[in-house]
Amino acid sequence: MTATVGVPKETFPGERRVALTPKSCEALAKARLAVVVESGAGLEAGFPDTEYEKRGVKIASRAEVFARAEIIVQARTVGANPVEGLSDISLLRSGQILIGFGDPLTAAAENAAVAATGATFFATELVPRITRAQAMDALSSMASIAGYEAVLLAAAALPKIFPMMMTAAGTITPAKVLILGAGVAGLQAIATARRLGAVVSAYDLRSAVKEQIESLGAKFVVLDLDTGGGDGGGGYAKAMDEAFYRRQRELLTEVIREQDVVITTAAVPGRKAPILVTAQMAEAMAPGSVIVDIAAERGGNCELTRAGETVVHNGITIIGPANLPSRAPFHASQMYATNLVNFLKLITKDGVPAINMDDEIVRESLVTKDGQIVHPKLRPAAPEGSSK
């Protein structure tokens, strides 16, 4: 028997991605997995039903997708889609596999609701950052798109252009862009801002990224701070205390004052994003300057950020974009689908589910199984009575 992978249409407001592209369905067919897609699921990403059908994929209603598939793949499962996603809970069944983003470190109630269905839930955010898992690392793929899109938002909002121009009408000096946090999104933001001709500098808590910043043609900002390397393991930053963040803000004030654009990306897994830019620091920037806060959905790196909104404060524009990857749904879906195909190959064998709990990638990304929240980091956070 061959298992079927189901792709429901995304229901989060404004979400334009689709979990599998038509081409990725071909790769799954080679792994002996059939696919059923909800009608219209790929349309906003540029993949009409006919493109799936050409590759032998069945198109069906949402209820049929959930009923027919042994494995459901989504960009946003209920934890990352807590209002509209709730109606999917009643469509899930015991033993069915669910894969997708789900904010598992914070969405305790949703973890519990999925566990109660008996479904086996893998959260893409929890795929460990080991070399073997790189091709499944959806967090990194989506962060790359986010970094690129953040720069485009900044460029469009800034009353200046980014590049230097020498024209008969005079010389235009290049825009100054500062990137705070040079992880996956930050590095992509540096590369994008450089391509547009800005003068770019960047800062990260992890001193290990200095070389990467410089290799992209940006200046590494050195602050007189003891970070102890800043690495909390797995490529993530370690959480610092409030005294550290206070000192960091003091030192950043002068750097930020001179910028036309600040793009903030700083995050610490499972925690609220650290405040790197206070209202006072933003107010010191020249009118017309722009801050794009990629961490907006995780609480924001700027005190003035409002997630999903653009705030103009004293002439400074603070953009708190929601769901940046969905702004480029074609390529975001293409990358995400590739990540999912690689993950599906890991958890199936000869076209049927084969979950090997001895595998580190499986163990670390598995949230629920057999009616329980099984992830060791998540069990204590679940509300009482969440497990059967």
Binding stretches for ligand NAD (CB under 6 A): 129-131, 134, 137, 139-140, 143, 180-186, 203-206, 235-237, 248, 265-269, 274, 276
Nearer to ligand NAD, 185 or 382 (CB): 185
Residue 125 CB, shortest distance to ligand NAD, in Å, is: 10
Complex with ligand NAD: residue 84 or 359, whichever CB lies closer: 359
Sequence letter at residue 376 = P
Contact between residue 17 and residue 325 where contact means Cβ atoms under 8 Å apart = yes
Nearer to ligand NAD, 270 or 351 (CB): 270
In the beta sheet, which residues pair with residue 233? 236
Asked about 137 being catalytic, the answer comes back as yes
Establish whether 204 is a catalytic residue.
no
49 tagged catalytic: no
Which of 88, 103, 137, 293 is catalytic? The answer is 137
Cα distances from 361 to residues 46, 180, 183, 192, in angstroms, run 31, 30, 21, 31
Q: Is the CB of residue 98 less than 8 Å from the CB of residue 70?
A: no
CA separation for the pair 296, 323 (Å, rounded) = 10
Indicate which residue of 68, 129, 257, 363 is catalytic: 129
Q: Measured from the CB atom, is 73 or 276 closer to ligand NAD?
A: 276
List 134, 215, 246, 271, catalytic entry: 134
Rounded CA separation 131/342 (Å): 13
The 10 Å Cβ neighbour count of residue 62 is 17
d(CA 74, CA 102): 9
User: In the annotation, is 140 catalytic?
Assistant: yes
| C-beta of residue 155 within 8 angstroms of C-beta of residue 196 | yes
Of residues 22 and 274, the one with the C-beta less far from ligand NAD: 274
Q: Write down the least CB distance from residue 302 to ligand NAD, Å.
A: 13
We find the least distance from the C-beta atom of residue 254 to ligand NAD, in angstroms, to be 16
Active site residue 226: no
CA distances from 277 to 157, 220, 383 (A): 19, 18, 34
Q: Which is nearer to ligand NAD, 188 or 333 (CB)?
A: 188
Residue of 207, 236, 247, 387 marked active site:
236
Catalytic entry in 24, 74, 96, 140? 140
Q: Which is nearer to ligand NAD, 78 or 294 (CB)?
A: 294
Q: Catalytic residue numbers?
A: 129, 134, 137, 140, 236
